[in-house]
Structure 1
Amino acid sequence: MRELIETIVKPLVDHPESVRVETAETERSITYRLFVDKDDMGKVIGKQGRVAKAIRTVTFAGVATQQQKRTVLEIVDQ
């Protein structure tokens, strides 16, 4: 799933070398922390959060078919 998130985000940003995804997993949830350059935050979030919502939807769908865990995607600037 990390690779999928990176594949979606890297073409959207001006600094693809700064894109990094970290994963933290508990027995009930999986948290993906997406790190992007401070200048690229607006591009990843999108107007009214539409891009971020789309990334979350794809992430949730991928995990839901594999595991029965709650999924969280956090977008963090560096």
Structure 2
Amino acid sequence: MKALIEAMVAPLVDFPEQIVVHQREEQHKVIYQLQVHESDIGKVIGKDGRNARAFRAVLRAASADHKKRIYLDIV
């Protein structure tokens, strides 16, 4: 999933080398924390959060066979 997140975000940002994805697992969920350069946060979130919603939808679809719920936090 980390590679998928990085692949989706990299074309949108000006500083792709500063993309960092941390993974934290809990009992019923997996939380991915995405960190990008401060000037790229707006591009990743998108207008009215459209990009962020799209990323989360793709992650839900990609993890449909997993038993844990997937969350994406953008920092």
The question of a shared fold, defined as TM-score above 0.5 by the shorter chain, is answered with yes
Query: If the length of structure 2 is used for normalisation, what is the TM-score?
Result: 0.95
Distance 1:19 1:46 in 2: 16
Within 5 Å, which residues of 2 pair with 1:21-36? 21-36=21-36
Map of 2:57 onto structure 1: 57
Supply the distance in 2 between the matched residues of 1:28 and 1:64 (Cα, whole angstroms). Answer: 14
Per the TM alignment, residue 34 of structure 1 is displaced from its structure 2 partner at its CA by: 0.4
Deviation at 1:69, TM superposition (A): 1.2
Identity of aligned residues (%): 48
* RMSD between superposed Cα atoms in Å: 0.8
- Unaligned stretches of 5+ residues in structure 2: none
Provide the rounded CA distance (Å) in 2 between the counterparts of 1:45 and 1:53.
8
Q: List runs of 5+ in structure 1 lacking aligned partners.
A: none
| Structure 2: distance between partners of 1:9 and 1:29 | 22
Under a length normalisation based on structure 1, what TM-score does the superposition of the two structures give? 0.91
